[in-house]
Homo-oligomer: A and B are copies of this chain.
Protein backbone atom coordinates (compact mmCIF):
# COMPACT_ATOMS: atom_id res chain seq x y z
CA UNK A 1 0.00 0.00 0.00
CA UNK A 2 1.52 3.29 -1.05
CA UNK A 3 1.94 5.77 1.81
CA UNK A 4 1.65 9.47 1.19
CA UNK A 5 2.06 12.14 3.79
CA UNK A 6 3.78 14.63 1.46
CA UNK A 7 2.36 17.13 -0.96
CA UNK A 8 4.15 16.55 -4.23
CA UNK A 9 4.10 20.04 -5.73
CA UNK A 10 5.63 23.30 -4.54
CA UNK A 11 5.96 26.94 -5.64
CA UNK A 12 9.11 26.27 -7.64
CA UNK A 13 6.99 24.39 -10.18
CA UNK A 14 5.60 27.65 -11.50
CA UNK A 15 9.03 29.26 -11.88
CA UNK A 16 10.30 26.32 -13.90
CA UNK A 17 7.23 25.39 -15.91
CA UNK A 18 5.37 28.61 -16.68
CA UNK A 19 8.03 29.81 -19.17
CA UNK A 20 7.98 26.43 -20.92
CA UNK A 21 4.20 26.63 -21.37
CA UNK A 22 4.36 30.24 -22.61
CA UNK A 23 6.97 29.32 -25.18
CA UNK A 24 4.74 26.55 -26.49
CA UNK A 25 1.73 28.92 -26.49
CA UNK A 26 3.72 31.41 -28.57
CA UNK A 27 4.62 28.63 -31.03
CA UNK A 28 0.89 27.93 -31.49
CA UNK A 29 -0.04 31.61 -31.74
CA UNK A 30 -2.04 31.64 -28.50
CA UNK A 31 -2.41 34.70 -26.25
CA UNK A 32 -3.70 32.57 -23.42
CA UNK A 33 -4.39 29.00 -22.39
CA UNK A 34 -6.94 27.45 -20.01
CA UNK A 35 -5.73 24.79 -17.55
CA UNK A 36 -8.62 23.07 -15.73
CA UNK A 37 -7.97 20.60 -12.92
CA UNK A 38 -10.08 17.98 -14.72
CA UNK A 39 -8.36 15.56 -17.05
CA UNK A 40 -9.68 13.70 -20.08
CA UNK A 41 -11.48 11.18 -17.84
CA UNK A 42 -13.25 13.69 -15.55
CA UNK A 43 -12.10 11.80 -12.45
CA UNK A 44 -11.94 13.23 -8.95
CA UNK A 45 -8.45 11.80 -8.34
CA UNK A 46 -6.00 12.27 -11.19
CA UNK A 47 -3.07 10.13 -12.23
CA UNK A 48 0.11 12.19 -11.69
CA UNK A 49 0.59 12.32 -15.47
CA UNK A 50 -2.68 14.24 -15.82
CA UNK A 51 -2.34 16.75 -12.99
CA UNK A 52 -1.58 19.59 -15.35
CA UNK A 53 -2.65 22.23 -12.85
CA UNK A 54 -0.08 20.97 -10.31
CA UNK A 55 2.63 20.86 -12.96
CA UNK A 56 2.15 24.45 -14.06
CA UNK A 57 1.31 26.10 -10.73
CA UNK A 58 2.29 23.80 -7.86
CA UNK A 59 -1.30 23.61 -6.57
CA UNK A 60 -2.37 20.02 -5.76
CA UNK A 61 -5.98 20.43 -4.55
CA UNK A 62 -8.77 18.28 -5.92
CA UNK A 63 -10.55 21.16 -7.69
CA UNK A 64 -9.31 24.33 -9.35
CA UNK A 65 -8.17 25.92 -12.59
CA UNK A 66 -5.57 28.26 -14.02
CA UNK A 67 -5.58 30.81 -16.81
CA UNK A 68 -2.17 31.56 -18.32
CA UNK A 69 -1.89 34.73 -20.39
CA UNK A 70 1.25 36.11 -22.05
CA UNK A 71 2.23 38.37 -19.19
CA UNK A 72 0.12 37.27 -16.25
CA UNK A 73 -1.57 34.21 -14.85
CA UNK A 74 -4.19 33.29 -12.22
CA UNK A 75 -5.04 30.22 -10.17
CA UNK A 76 -8.66 29.66 -9.07
CA UNK A 77 -9.52 27.68 -5.93
CA UNK A 78 -12.57 27.23 -3.70
CA UNK A 79 -12.94 27.95 0.02
CA UNK A 80 -11.42 24.61 1.08
CA UNK A 81 -8.06 25.48 -0.44
CA UNK A 82 -7.46 29.14 0.42
CA UNK A 83 -4.74 28.19 2.94
CA UNK A 84 -3.14 25.43 0.89
CA UNK A 85 -2.88 27.47 -2.29
CA UNK A 86 -0.83 30.12 -0.52
CA UNK A 87 1.70 27.52 0.53
CA UNK A 88 1.95 25.88 -2.86
CA UNK A 89 1.72 28.69 -5.40
CA UNK A 90 4.16 31.58 -5.98
CA UNK A 91 2.13 34.81 -5.68
CA UNK A 92 4.68 36.56 -7.86
CA UNK A 93 3.65 34.33 -10.74
CA UNK A 94 -0.05 33.68 -10.15
CA UNK A 95 -2.85 35.84 -8.79
CA UNK A 96 -5.09 33.80 -6.47
CA UNK A 97 -8.79 34.03 -7.31
CA UNK A 98 -12.05 32.43 -6.17
CA UNK A 99 -13.25 29.50 -8.26
CA UNK A 100 -16.85 30.05 -7.21
CA UNK A 101 -17.37 33.81 -7.16
CA UNK A 102 -17.51 34.43 -10.91
CA UNK A 103 -14.57 32.07 -11.40
CA UNK A 104 -12.74 31.71 -14.69
CA UNK A 105 -15.54 33.17 -16.86
CA UNK A 106 -15.60 36.45 -14.91
CA UNK A 107 -11.80 36.67 -15.20
CA UNK A 108 -11.94 36.09 -18.96
CA UNK A 109 -14.67 38.69 -19.35
CA UNK A 110 -12.83 41.40 -17.43
CA UNK A 111 -9.20 40.61 -18.25
CA UNK A 112 -9.06 39.35 -21.84
CA UNK A 113 -7.65 41.79 -24.38
CA UNK A 114 -9.92 42.43 -27.38
CA UNK A 115 -8.80 40.20 -30.24
CA UNK A 116 -6.94 37.83 -27.93
CA UNK A 117 -6.92 34.14 -28.87
CA UNK A 118 -7.32 31.91 -25.81
CA UNK A 119 -6.57 28.24 -26.39
CA UNK A 120 -8.26 25.29 -24.69
CA UNK A 121 -8.02 21.54 -24.94
CA UNK A 122 -11.54 20.30 -25.84
CA UNK A 123 -10.81 16.92 -24.22
CA UNK A 124 -10.64 18.60 -20.80
CA UNK A 125 -13.82 20.72 -20.71
CA UNK A 126 -17.46 19.79 -20.46
CA UNK A 127 -19.76 21.36 -23.06
CA UNK A 128 -21.54 23.42 -20.40
CA UNK A 129 -18.27 24.80 -19.01
CA UNK A 130 -17.13 25.72 -22.47
CA UNK A 131 -20.39 27.50 -23.19
CA UNK A 132 -19.83 29.81 -20.20
CA UNK A 133 -16.13 30.30 -20.96
CA UNK A 134 -16.78 31.09 -24.61
CA UNK A 135 -19.60 33.52 -23.85
CA UNK A 136 -17.42 35.36 -21.34
CA UNK A 137 -14.43 35.60 -23.68
CA UNK A 138 -16.64 36.86 -26.50
CA UNK A 139 -18.06 39.59 -24.27
CA UNK A 140 -14.50 40.90 -23.93
CA UNK A 141 -13.98 40.65 -27.68
CA UNK A 142 -11.61 37.69 -27.28
CA UNK A 143 -11.96 34.29 -28.89
CA UNK A 144 -11.66 30.74 -27.57
CA UNK A 145 -9.81 28.35 -29.84
CA UNK A 146 -9.57 24.56 -29.48
CA UNK A 147 -6.04 23.15 -29.77
CA UNK A 148 -5.10 19.94 -31.51
CA UNK A 149 -1.99 19.33 -29.41
CA UNK A 150 -2.16 20.52 -25.80
CA UNK A 151 0.70 23.08 -25.43
CA UNK A 152 1.10 22.18 -21.75
CA UNK A 153 1.59 18.51 -22.58
CA UNK A 154 4.19 19.49 -25.18
CA UNK A 155 5.97 21.72 -22.67
CA UNK A 156 5.87 18.94 -20.09
CA UNK A 157 7.45 16.67 -22.71
CA UNK A 158 9.70 13.83 -21.69
CA UNK A 159 9.51 14.78 -18.02
CA UNK A 160 5.83 13.84 -17.91
CA UNK A 161 5.24 10.56 -16.07
CA UNK A 162 3.78 7.77 -18.18
CA UNK A 163 0.03 7.20 -18.23
CA UNK A 164 -1.01 4.58 -15.69
CA UNK A 165 -1.04 1.05 -17.09
CA UNK A 166 -2.48 -1.03 -14.28
CA UNK A 167 -3.58 -4.49 -15.44
CA UNK A 168 -7.31 -4.96 -15.95
CA UNK A 169 -8.77 -8.07 -14.36
CA UNK A 170 -12.21 -9.72 -14.25
CA UNK A 171 -14.52 -8.79 -11.37
CA UNK A 172 -16.16 -12.15 -10.64
CA UNK A 173 -19.92 -12.65 -10.62
CA UNK A 174 -19.76 -13.65 -6.93
CA UNK A 175 -19.01 -9.96 -6.22
CA UNK A 176 -20.76 -8.27 -9.17
CA UNK A 177 -24.01 -10.18 -8.83
CA UNK A 178 -25.01 -9.71 -12.48
CA UNK A 179 -23.20 -10.69 -15.66
CA UNK A 180 -21.97 -8.02 -18.06
CA UNK A 181 -24.03 -9.43 -20.94
CA UNK A 182 -27.21 -9.10 -18.85
CA UNK A 183 -26.30 -5.55 -17.82
CA UNK A 184 -25.57 -4.56 -21.41
CA UNK A 185 -28.79 -6.08 -22.74
CA UNK A 186 -30.88 -4.40 -20.04
CA UNK A 187 -29.30 -0.98 -20.59
CA UNK A 188 -29.36 -1.28 -24.37
CA UNK A 189 -33.12 -1.89 -24.30
CA UNK A 190 -33.95 1.01 -22.01
CA UNK A 191 -31.44 3.75 -22.81
CA UNK A 192 -33.61 5.38 -25.48
CA UNK A 193 -30.88 5.72 -28.12
CA UNK A 194 -29.25 3.50 -30.70
CA UNK A 195 -25.88 3.78 -28.98
CA UNK A 196 -24.32 5.32 -25.89
CA UNK A 197 -20.79 6.66 -25.46
CA UNK A 198 -19.51 5.82 -21.97
CA UNK A 199 -16.36 7.46 -20.65
CA UNK A 200 -16.73 7.48 -16.83
CA UNK A 201 -14.21 5.06 -15.33
CA UNK A 202 -16.59 3.58 -12.71
CA UNK A 203 -19.17 2.96 -15.45
CA UNK A 204 -16.64 1.12 -17.63
CA UNK A 205 -15.66 -1.02 -14.63
CA UNK A 206 -19.27 -1.72 -13.64
CA UNK A 207 -20.66 -2.41 -17.12
CA UNK A 208 -17.97 -4.89 -18.13
CA UNK A 209 -17.41 -6.39 -14.65
CA UNK A 210 -13.70 -5.55 -14.68
CA UNK A 211 -11.43 -3.73 -12.28
CA UNK A 212 -8.12 -1.96 -12.83
CA UNK A 213 -5.89 0.47 -11.01
CA UNK A 214 -5.36 3.59 -13.10
CA UNK A 215 -6.97 5.88 -10.55
CA UNK A 216 -5.46 6.48 -7.14
CA UNK A 217 -7.23 4.52 -4.33
CA UNK A 218 -9.99 3.25 -6.67
CA UNK A 219 -9.75 0.06 -8.74
CA UNK A 220 -10.85 1.64 -11.99
CA UNK A 221 -9.44 1.28 -15.50
CA UNK A 222 -9.38 4.38 -17.70
CA UNK A 223 -10.98 3.76 -21.06
CA UNK A 224 -14.03 4.41 -23.22
CA UNK A 225 -16.85 2.31 -24.58
CA UNK A 226 -19.63 2.42 -27.12
CA UNK A 227 -22.68 0.41 -26.06
CA UNK A 228 -25.15 -0.52 -28.79
CA UNK A 229 -28.83 -1.05 -28.14
CA UNK A 230 -28.52 -4.78 -28.95
CA UNK A 231 -26.10 -5.15 -26.02
CA UNK A 232 -22.94 -5.46 -28.10
CA UNK A 233 -20.13 -3.05 -27.29
CA UNK A 234 -16.75 -1.73 -28.35
CA UNK A 235 -14.32 -1.22 -25.49
CA UNK A 236 -11.27 1.00 -25.97
CA UNK A 237 -8.35 0.16 -23.65
CA UNK A 238 -4.59 0.52 -23.81
CA UNK A 239 -3.40 -2.98 -24.96
CA UNK A 240 -0.65 -2.88 -22.34
CA UNK A 241 -3.35 -3.04 -19.62
CA UNK A 242 -5.12 -6.05 -21.12
CA UNK A 243 -4.40 -9.26 -19.21
CA UNK A 244 -4.56 -12.78 -20.65
CA UNK A 245 -8.07 -14.11 -20.56
CA UNK A 246 -9.71 -10.66 -20.52
CA UNK A 247 -11.16 -11.06 -24.03
CA UNK A 248 -12.56 -14.46 -23.03
CA UNK A 249 -14.12 -12.87 -19.91
CA UNK A 250 -15.69 -10.12 -22.00
CA UNK A 251 -17.10 -12.57 -24.56
CA UNK A 252 -17.67 -12.29 -28.31
CA UNK A 253 -20.18 -9.46 -28.07
CA UNK A 254 -17.49 -7.04 -26.85
CA UNK A 255 -14.66 -6.04 -29.17
CA UNK A 256 -11.51 -4.96 -27.39
CA UNK A 257 -9.77 -2.16 -29.30
CA UNK A 258 -6.90 0.27 -28.77
CA UNK A 259 -7.69 3.93 -27.89
CA UNK A 260 -6.51 5.05 -31.34
CA UNK A 261 -9.58 3.31 -32.83
CA UNK A 262 -12.03 5.51 -30.87
CA UNK A 263 -12.28 8.55 -33.20
CA UNK A 264 -13.16 6.38 -36.22
CA UNK A 265 -15.63 4.41 -34.09
CA UNK A 266 -17.40 7.67 -33.18
CA UNK A 267 -17.45 8.70 -36.83
CA UNK A 268 -19.09 5.37 -37.66
CA UNK A 269 -22.11 6.37 -35.51
CA UNK A 270 -23.23 8.66 -38.35
CA UNK A 271 -27.02 8.76 -38.65
CA UNK A 272 -27.61 7.10 -35.27
CA UNK A 273 -29.06 8.58 -32.08
CA UNK A 274 -26.20 8.55 -29.56
CA UNK A 275 -26.58 9.13 -25.82
CA UNK A 276 -23.73 11.09 -24.20
CA UNK A 277 -23.58 12.46 -20.64
CA UNK A 278 -22.43 16.10 -20.66
CA UNK A 279 -21.42 15.75 -16.98
CA UNK A 280 -19.07 12.87 -17.76
CA UNK A 281 -17.86 13.34 -21.33
CA UNK A 282 -15.94 16.34 -22.61
CA UNK A 283 -16.88 18.67 -25.42
CA UNK A 284 -14.57 16.75 -27.74
CA UNK A 285 -17.07 13.87 -27.90
CA UNK A 286 -20.03 16.13 -28.68
CA UNK A 287 -18.07 17.96 -31.35
CA UNK A 288 -16.78 14.77 -32.96
CA UNK A 289 -20.26 13.17 -33.04
CA UNK A 290 -21.90 16.31 -34.44
CA UNK A 291 -19.33 16.49 -37.22
CA UNK A 292 -19.81 12.79 -37.92
CA UNK A 293 -23.54 13.39 -38.46
CA UNK A 294 -24.78 11.51 -35.40
CA UNK A 295 -27.87 12.75 -33.57
CA UNK A 296 -26.59 13.42 -30.04
CA UNK A 297 -28.96 12.91 -27.11
CA UNK A 298 -27.72 14.60 -23.94
CA UNK A 299 -28.62 12.51 -20.92
CA UNK A 300 -27.35 10.76 -17.84
CA UNK A 301 -24.75 8.03 -18.30
CA UNK A 302 -27.03 4.93 -18.56
CA UNK A 303 -24.78 3.04 -16.09
CA UNK A 304 -25.05 5.68 -13.36
CA UNK A 305 -28.37 4.70 -11.76
CA UNK A 306 -28.07 0.89 -12.01
CA UNK A 307 -24.47 1.10 -10.74
CA UNK A 308 -25.58 3.20 -7.76
CA UNK A 309 -28.50 0.87 -6.93
CA UNK A 310 -26.57 -2.16 -5.71
CA UNK A 311 -28.04 -5.60 -6.29
CA UNK A 312 -28.55 -8.14 -3.49
CA UNK A 313 -25.13 -9.73 -4.04
CA UNK A 314 -23.38 -6.36 -3.84
CA UNK A 315 -25.32 -5.35 -0.71
CA UNK A 316 -24.45 -8.66 0.95
CA UNK A 317 -20.82 -8.11 -0.08
CA UNK A 318 -20.91 -4.66 1.49
CA UNK A 319 -22.20 -6.16 4.76
CA UNK A 320 -19.34 -8.69 4.78
CA UNK A 321 -16.70 -6.08 3.89
CA UNK A 322 -17.93 -3.79 6.66
CA UNK A 323 -17.97 -6.63 9.19
CA UNK A 324 -14.30 -7.40 8.43
CA UNK A 325 -13.39 -3.71 8.32
CA UNK A 326 -14.91 -3.43 11.79
CA UNK A 327 -12.24 -5.82 13.08
CA UNK A 328 -9.48 -3.40 12.05
CA UNK A 329 -11.43 -0.50 13.52
CA UNK A 330 -12.00 -2.31 16.83
CA UNK A 331 -8.28 -3.08 17.15
CA UNK A 332 -7.43 0.52 16.28
CA UNK A 333 -9.94 2.04 18.70
CA UNK A 334 -8.77 -0.37 21.42
CA UNK A 335 -5.22 0.84 20.87
CA UNK A 336 -6.34 4.48 21.09
CA UNK A 337 -8.35 3.71 24.24
CA UNK A 338 -5.35 2.13 25.95
CA UNK A 339 -1.83 3.04 24.76
CA UNK A 340 -3.20 6.06 22.93
CA UNK A 341 -4.38 7.57 26.21
CA UNK A 342 -1.09 7.28 28.08
CA UNK A 343 1.11 7.87 25.08
CA UNK A 344 -0.89 9.91 22.58
CA UNK A 345 0.12 9.33 18.93
CA UNK A 346 0.72 11.98 16.34
CA UNK A 347 -1.47 12.04 13.24
CA UNK A 348 0.89 10.06 11.02
CA UNK A 349 1.44 7.44 13.71
CA UNK A 350 -2.31 7.04 14.07
CA UNK A 351 -2.93 6.84 10.32
CA UNK A 352 -0.05 4.41 9.81
CA UNK A 353 -1.24 2.18 12.65
CA UNK A 354 -4.75 2.01 11.18
CA UNK A 355 -3.49 1.32 7.68
CA UNK A 356 -1.32 -1.54 9.01
CA UNK A 357 -4.29 -3.01 10.90
CA UNK A 358 -6.51 -2.79 7.82
CA UNK A 359 -3.79 -4.43 5.74
CA UNK A 360 -4.25 -7.59 7.84
CA UNK A 361 -7.91 -7.92 6.87
CA UNK A 362 -8.60 -10.61 4.21
CA UNK A 363 -9.74 -9.25 0.85
CA UNK A 364 -8.24 -5.78 1.28
CA UNK A 365 -6.83 -4.49 -2.02
CA UNK A 366 -6.07 -0.90 -1.02
CA UNK A 367 -7.29 1.81 1.28
CA UNK A 368 -10.14 3.78 -0.26
CA UNK A 369 -8.49 7.21 0.22
CA UNK A 370 -5.47 8.63 2.03
CA UNK A 371 -6.27 8.28 5.71
CA UNK A 372 -7.29 11.50 7.46
CA UNK A 373 -6.06 11.75 11.05
CA UNK A 374 -6.59 15.16 12.57
CA UNK A 375 -5.46 16.23 16.00
CA UNK A 376 -6.41 19.48 17.75
CA UNK A 377 -7.17 22.36 15.36
CA UNK A 378 -6.08 20.43 12.26
CA UNK A 379 -9.30 18.42 12.47
CA UNK A 380 -11.30 21.64 12.28
CA UNK A 381 -10.47 21.74 8.56
CA UNK A 382 -13.01 19.25 7.13
CA UNK A 383 -10.75 18.30 4.19
CA UNK A 384 -7.48 18.13 6.14
CA UNK A 385 -4.90 15.47 5.30
CA UNK A 386 -1.80 15.16 7.51
CA UNK A 387 1.59 15.87 5.96
CA UNK A 388 5.02 15.60 7.52
CA UNK A 389 4.91 19.38 7.85
CA UNK A 390 1.50 19.67 9.51
CA UNK A 391 1.76 16.47 11.57
CA UNK A 392 0.56 17.16 15.15
CA UNK A 393 0.59 15.02 18.29
CA UNK A 394 -2.65 14.48 20.20
CA UNK A 395 -2.60 15.51 23.85
CA UNK A 396 -4.82 15.04 26.88
CA UNK A 397 -8.06 17.01 26.83
CA UNK A 398 -8.30 17.03 23.03
CA UNK A 399 -10.03 15.07 20.28
CA UNK A 400 -8.50 12.90 17.56
CA UNK A 401 -10.55 12.56 14.35
CA UNK A 402 -9.80 9.64 12.01
CA UNK A 403 -11.55 9.30 8.62
CA UNK A 404 -10.51 6.22 6.66
CA UNK A 405 -11.70 3.32 4.52
CA UNK A 406 -10.76 0.19 2.66
CA UNK A 407 -11.16 -1.19 -0.83
CA UNK A 408 -12.21 -4.82 -0.45
CA UNK A 409 -13.12 -7.12 -3.33
CA UNK A 410 -16.63 -7.32 -1.90
CA UNK A 411 -17.11 -3.66 -0.99
CA UNK A 412 -15.74 -0.20 -0.30
CA UNK A 413 -15.77 1.21 3.25
CA UNK A 414 -15.56 4.76 4.64
CA UNK A 415 -15.79 5.53 8.35
CA UNK A 416 -15.05 8.48 10.63
CA UNK A 417 -14.65 8.18 14.39
CA UNK A 418 -13.59 10.78 16.94
CA UNK A 419 -11.84 9.64 20.10
CA UNK A 420 -11.31 11.65 23.25
CA UNK A 421 -7.68 11.72 24.38
CA UNK A 422 -7.85 12.21 28.13
CA UNK A 423 -10.94 13.93 29.51
CA UNK A 424 -13.15 15.89 27.06
CA UNK A 425 -14.71 19.15 28.26
CA UNK A 426 -18.45 19.87 28.46
CA UNK A 427 -18.54 21.81 25.23
CA UNK A 428 -16.95 18.94 23.31
CA UNK A 429 -19.51 16.54 24.77
CA UNK A 430 -22.39 18.89 23.94
CA UNK A 431 -21.22 19.28 20.34
CA UNK A 432 -20.47 15.59 19.89
CA UNK A 433 -23.89 14.64 21.24
CA UNK A 434 -25.61 17.08 18.86
CA UNK A 435 -23.72 15.62 15.91
CA UNK A 436 -24.68 12.13 17.09
CA UNK A 437 -28.34 13.10 17.40
CA UNK A 438 -28.29 14.38 13.81
CA UNK A 439 -26.62 11.16 12.69
CA UNK A 440 -29.26 9.06 14.45
CA UNK A 441 -32.15 11.15 13.06
CA UNK A 442 -30.94 10.50 9.52
CA UNK A 443 -30.26 6.80 10.21
CA UNK A 444 -33.82 6.28 11.51
CA UNK A 445 -35.73 8.06 8.73
CA UNK A 446 -38.54 6.43 6.79
CA UNK A 447 -39.39 8.11 3.49
CA UNK A 448 -41.47 7.41 0.38
CA UNK A 449 -40.15 6.57 -3.09
CA UNK A 450 -39.22 9.72 -4.99
CA UNK A 451 -37.48 11.41 -2.07
CA UNK A 452 -34.08 12.95 -2.84
CA UNK A 453 -31.19 13.44 -0.43
CA UNK A 454 -31.82 17.19 -0.61
CA UNK A 455 -35.05 16.65 1.34
CA UNK A 456 -33.30 14.66 4.08
CA UNK A 457 -30.09 16.60 4.68
CA UNK A 458 -31.49 19.02 7.28
CA UNK A 459 -32.55 16.24 9.67
CA UNK A 460 -28.84 15.69 10.37
CA UNK A 461 -28.34 19.41 11.07
CA UNK A 462 -31.33 20.23 13.27
CA UNK A 463 -29.71 19.54 16.68
CA UNK A 464 -26.84 21.86 15.67
CA UNK A 465 -29.17 24.50 14.21
CA UNK A 466 -31.07 24.58 17.50
CA UNK A 467 -27.84 25.73 19.18
CA UNK A 468 -26.85 28.22 16.48
CA UNK A 469 -24.31 25.85 14.88
CA UNK A 470 -23.87 24.12 11.50
CA UNK A 471 -21.24 22.48 9.29
CA UNK A 472 -20.11 23.54 5.83
CA UNK A 473 -20.14 20.29 3.91
CA UNK A 474 -22.71 17.82 2.62
CA UNK A 475 -24.12 15.14 4.91
CA UNK A 476 -23.70 12.12 2.64
CA UNK A 477 -22.06 10.95 -0.58
CA UNK A 478 -22.72 7.82 -2.60
CA UNK A 479 -20.18 4.99 -2.36
CA UNK A 480 -19.28 2.42 -5.01
CA UNK A 481 -19.07 -1.37 -4.74
CA UNK A 482 -15.29 -1.98 -4.83
CA UNK A 483 -15.19 1.23 -6.89
CA UNK A 484 -14.89 4.92 -6.10
CA UNK A 485 -15.52 5.97 -2.48
CA UNK A 486 -17.31 9.05 -3.89
CA UNK A 487 -19.96 8.02 -6.39
CA UNK A 488 -23.05 9.78 -7.74
CA UNK A 489 -25.61 10.48 -8.88
CA UNK A 490 -27.35 10.50 -5.48
CA UNK A 491 -26.22 12.58 -2.52
CA UNK A 492 -27.50 13.95 0.80
CA UNK A 493 -26.77 17.68 0.89
CA UNK A 494 -28.29 21.15 1.04
CA UNK A 495 -27.58 21.59 -2.66
CA UNK A 496 -30.35 20.54 -5.03
CA UNK A 497 -30.05 16.94 -6.20
CA UNK A 498 -32.54 15.47 -8.64
CA UNK A 499 -31.88 11.75 -8.12
CA UNK A 500 -34.34 10.11 -5.72
CA UNK A 501 -32.84 7.62 -3.29
CA UNK A 502 -33.48 4.02 -4.40
CA UNK A 503 -33.13 0.65 -2.71
CA UNK A 504 -29.53 -0.57 -2.79
CA UNK A 505 -27.95 2.87 -2.93
CA UNK A 506 -25.09 3.16 -0.45
CA UNK A 507 -24.61 6.59 1.05
CA UNK A 508 -22.58 8.03 3.90
CA UNK A 509 -24.15 9.68 6.96
CA UNK A 510 -21.54 12.10 8.26
CA UNK A 511 -22.65 15.24 10.06
CA UNK A 512 -19.91 17.15 11.85
CA UNK A 513 -18.95 20.19 13.86
CA UNK A 514 -15.71 22.15 13.52
CA UNK A 515 -14.36 24.64 16.03
CA UNK A 516 -11.74 26.71 14.26
CA UNK A 517 -8.25 26.19 15.66
CA UNK A 518 -9.47 23.84 18.41
CA UNK A 519 -11.07 20.57 17.33
CA UNK A 520 -13.18 18.78 14.73
CA UNK A 521 -16.02 16.29 15.14
CA UNK A 522 -17.51 14.02 12.50
CA UNK A 523 -19.46 10.77 12.90
CA UNK A 524 -19.61 8.79 9.70
CA UNK A 525 -21.27 5.46 8.95
CA UNK A 526 -22.21 4.06 5.57
CA UNK A 527 -25.82 3.03 5.15
CA UNK A 528 -27.76 1.33 2.37
CA UNK A 529 -31.26 2.30 1.28
CA UNK A 530 -33.62 -0.56 2.18
CA UNK A 531 -36.34 -2.17 0.07
CA UNK A 532 -39.86 -0.63 0.20
CA UNK A 533 -41.59 -1.82 3.34
CA UNK A 534 -45.26 -1.78 4.28
CA UNK A 535 -45.78 -0.15 7.66
CA UNK A 536 -48.82 -1.62 9.49
CA UNK A 537 -51.76 0.73 9.00
CA UNK A 538 -49.86 2.72 6.37
CA UNK A 539 -50.76 3.36 2.75
CA UNK A 540 -47.46 3.85 1.01
CA UNK A 541 -44.44 1.53 1.10
CA UNK A 542 -41.57 3.31 2.80
CA UNK A 543 -37.83 3.21 2.22
CA UNK A 544 -35.29 3.56 5.01
CA UNK A 545 -31.63 2.92 5.79
CA UNK A 546 -29.69 -0.07 7.10
CA UNK A 547 -26.38 0.91 8.70
CA UNK A 548 -23.44 -1.05 7.28
CA UNK A 549 -20.53 0.30 9.36
CA UNK A 550 -19.82 -1.59 12.60
CA UNK A 551 -17.54 0.25 15.03
CA UNK A 552 -18.21 1.73 18.47
CA UNK A 553 -18.94 5.43 18.94
CA UNK A 554 -16.93 6.91 21.85
CA UNK A 555 -19.38 6.92 24.78
CA UNK A 556 -17.11 9.21 26.80
CA UNK A 557 -18.07 11.95 24.34
CA UNK A 558 -21.82 11.46 24.72
CA UNK A 559 -23.91 13.51 27.14
CA UNK A 560 -26.56 10.91 27.95
CA UNK A 561 -28.99 13.50 29.29
CA UNK A 562 -29.19 15.22 25.91
CA UNK A 563 -30.43 12.04 24.20
CA UNK A 564 -34.12 11.25 23.78
CA UNK A 565 -35.14 7.72 24.81
CA UNK A 566 -35.54 6.72 21.16
CA UNK A 567 -32.00 7.94 20.45
CA UNK A 568 -30.58 5.96 23.37
CA UNK A 569 -32.39 2.91 22.06
CA UNK A 570 -30.83 3.36 18.63
CA UNK A 571 -27.36 3.74 20.11
CA UNK A 572 -27.67 0.70 22.37
CA UNK A 573 -29.01 -1.45 19.54
CA UNK A 574 -26.21 -0.27 17.27
CA UNK A 575 -23.55 -1.05 19.87
CA UNK A 576 -25.10 -4.47 20.57
CA UNK A 577 -24.80 -5.22 16.84
CA UNK A 578 -21.18 -4.04 16.75
CA UNK A 579 -20.31 -6.35 19.63
CA UNK A 580 -22.14 -9.30 18.11
CA UNK A 581 -20.62 -8.87 14.64
CA UNK A 582 -17.05 -7.91 15.55
CA UNK A 583 -16.55 -9.33 19.04
CA UNK A 584 -16.08 -13.00 18.06
CA UNK A 585 -13.27 -12.11 15.63
CA UNK A 586 -10.93 -10.02 17.78
CA UNK A 587 -8.35 -10.85 20.45
CA UNK A 588 -9.62 -11.45 24.03
CA UNK A 589 -8.32 -8.12 25.35
CA UNK A 590 -9.89 -6.23 22.41
CA UNK A 591 -13.12 -8.15 22.94
CA UNK A 592 -13.20 -7.25 26.63
CA UNK A 593 -12.68 -3.59 25.80
CA UNK A 594 -15.31 -3.74 23.02
CA UNK A 595 -17.88 -5.20 25.42
CA UNK A 596 -17.34 -2.21 27.66
CA UNK A 597 -17.35 0.30 24.80
CA UNK A 598 -20.62 -1.21 23.53
CA UNK A 599 -22.42 -1.35 26.89
CA UNK A 600 -25.81 0.41 27.06
CA UNK A 601 -25.50 4.18 27.49
Contacts and interface: CB of A to CB of B under 8 A. Distances in A.
Contact of A468 (B445, B450, B458, B537): B537
A433 to B, nearest CB: 14
Contacts of A459: 458-459, 462
A540 B458 contact: no
Contact of A467 (B468, B498, B538): B538
A459 B457 CA distance: 11
A496 interface: yes
A538 B469 contact: yes
Contacts of A454: 454-455, 496
Contacts of A91: none
Q: Interface range on chain A: under 10, 10 to 19, 20 to 34, or 35 or more? A: 20 to 34
Interface in A443-462: 445-448, 450-452, 454-459, 462
B455 A540 contact: no
A44 interface: no
A456 B498 CA distance: 16
A3 interface: no
Contacts of A446: 465-466, 468
Nearest to A458: B455
B494 A496 contact: no
A259 interface: no
Contacts of A496: 454, 496-498
Contacts of A451: 458, 494
Contacts of A466: 446, 535
A247 B286 CA distance: 56
Contact of A465 (B448, B469, B497): B448
A541 interface: yes
Contacts of A539: 468-469
B465 A458 contact: no
A542 interface: yes
A388 interface: no
Contacts of A445: 462, 465
A469 B459 CA distance: 18
A57 B519 CA distance: 66
A534 interface: yes
A230 to B, nearest CB: 23
A316 interface: no
Interface in A396-454: 445-448, 450-452, 454
A448 B470 contact: yes
A537 B498 contact: no
A455 B535 contact: no
A13 to B, nearest CB: 36
A127 to B, nearest CB: 16
Interface in A515-549: 534-542
Contacts of A447: 458, 465
Interface in A329-365: none
A496 B456 CA distance: 13
A538 B468 contact: yes
Given A451-B494, A498-B496, A535 B458 contact: no
Nearest to A459: B458
Contacts of A494: 450-452, 455
A541 B470 CA distance: 11
Contact of A457 (B455, B534, B538): B455
Contacts of A534: 468
A456 B459 CA distance: 9
Contacts of A540: 468-470
A539 B466 CA distance: 11
A359 to B, nearest CB: 40
A535 B498 contact: no
7 contacts: A447-B458, A447-B465, A454-B455, A458-B459, A468-B539, A468-B542, A496-B498
Given A468-B541, A469-B540, 20 more contacts: A446-B465, A447-B458, A447-B465, A448-B465, A448-B470, A452-B494, A454-B454, A455-B457, A455-B458, A456-B458, A458-B458, A458-B459, A459-B459, A468-B535, A468-B539, A468-B542, A469-B538, A469-B539, A470-B540, A496-B496
User: Which 8 pairs from chain A and chain B are nearest by CB?
Assistant: A468-B538, A468-B535, A496-B496, A455-B458, A446-B465, A448-B470, A467-B538, A468-B542
